[in-house]
């Protein structure tokens, strides 16, 4: 099969959460750049409008909807509406998530300082909303006997990491097992479920914490390549997992981390 067919997502209908910036925007952009129709969602209305407009100005097929993934009925409704209007749903990127603050390497991140309210909020957004995204997307994909669901996890869910908060690490580990579990159920319907586990990328998560030079230095020290990744570097893996090239890939957690977990 030629490469243009192997990675062909032209005409695919794609749903992306957390698409206003960062990795979610990168996922939306690479899909739209390659001919997919992309529904971009985010809680940040202004950021989402600007992000979607920047792609439309290039003639790309993108739509937008302000959705707070913490509002599970609204999240499900947005997925259902996208599938209903286009008659199908081919790819869902469950990407939206939040930081849990610093890790135990600082006093503020040690377990005695963790607020249970903050813990519950992170669990709801980083785990429960991911489950709901999978469940809502799968309902449509099972009927059409095809689909791709791609979850944004983290290398913090693969091993301990002193730079990230307890709730973040715990939810990302749980998401990885959720992916494995869902992949087994949905395999019978030809629906592939996989997880991308990024290392440190230069994004705005944690109120732009990864733009702080000192934090950047600390994260870069744990990466053998000696730097943070740029958002564009997520695109190849995202396209692979959304395309026909991933027809025998499911239940995987794939690090993209500059060698940090090696």
The yes-or-no answer on residue 168 being catalytic is: yes
Q: Which two tokens stand for residue 26?
A: 């990168």
Indicate left, alpha or beta for 143 from its phi (over 0: left) and psi (-120 to 50: alpha): alpha
Among the listed residues 104, 166, 168, 189, the single catalytic one is: 168
Q: Which two tokens stand for residue 151?
A: 């979850």
Per-residue three-class SS string for 150-180:
EEECCHHHCCCCCCCCHHHHHHHHHHHHHHH
Length of the chain: 262
d(CA 82, CA 88): 8
Q: Which residues contact 69 (CB under 8 A, 6 or more apart)?
A: 17, 18, 41, 43, 75, 96, 125, 129, 132, 133
Query: How many angstroms from the chain centroid is the CA of residue 255?
Result: 13
Residues acting as catalytic residues:
168
């Amino acid at each position: 099969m030629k490469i243009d067919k192997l990675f062909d997502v032209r005409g695919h209908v794609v749903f992306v959460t957390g698409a206003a910036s960062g990795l979610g925007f990168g996922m939306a952009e690479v899909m739209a750049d390659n001919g997919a129709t992309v529904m971009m969602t985010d809680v940040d209305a202004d950021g989402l409008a600007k992000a979607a407009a920047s792609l439309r100005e290039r003639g790309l097929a993108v739509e937008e909807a302000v959705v707070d993934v913490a509002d599970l009925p609204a999240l499900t409704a947005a997925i259902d509406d996208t599938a209903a209007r286009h008659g199908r749903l081919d790819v869902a990127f469950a990407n939206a998530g939040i930081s849990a603050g610093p890790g135990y390497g600082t006093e503020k991140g040690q377990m005695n300082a963790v607020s249970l309210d903050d813990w519950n909020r992170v669990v709801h957004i980083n785990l429960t909303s991911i489950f709901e995204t999978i469940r809502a997307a799968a309902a449509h994909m099972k009927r059409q006997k095809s689909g791709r669901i791609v979850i944004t996890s983290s290398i913090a869910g693969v091993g301990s990491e002193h730079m990230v908060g307890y709730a973040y690490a715990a939810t990302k580990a749980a998401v990885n097992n959720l992916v494995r579990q869902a992949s087994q159920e949905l395999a019978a319907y030809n629906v592939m479920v996989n997880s991308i586990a990024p290392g440190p990328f230069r994004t705005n998560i944690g109120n732009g914490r990864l733009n702080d030079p000192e934090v950047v230095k600390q994260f870069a020290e744990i990466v053998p390549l000696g730097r943070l990744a740029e958002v564009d570097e997520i695109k190849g893996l995202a396209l692979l997992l959304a395309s026909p090239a991933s027809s025998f890939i499911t239940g995987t957690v794939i690090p993209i981390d500059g060698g940090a977990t090696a």
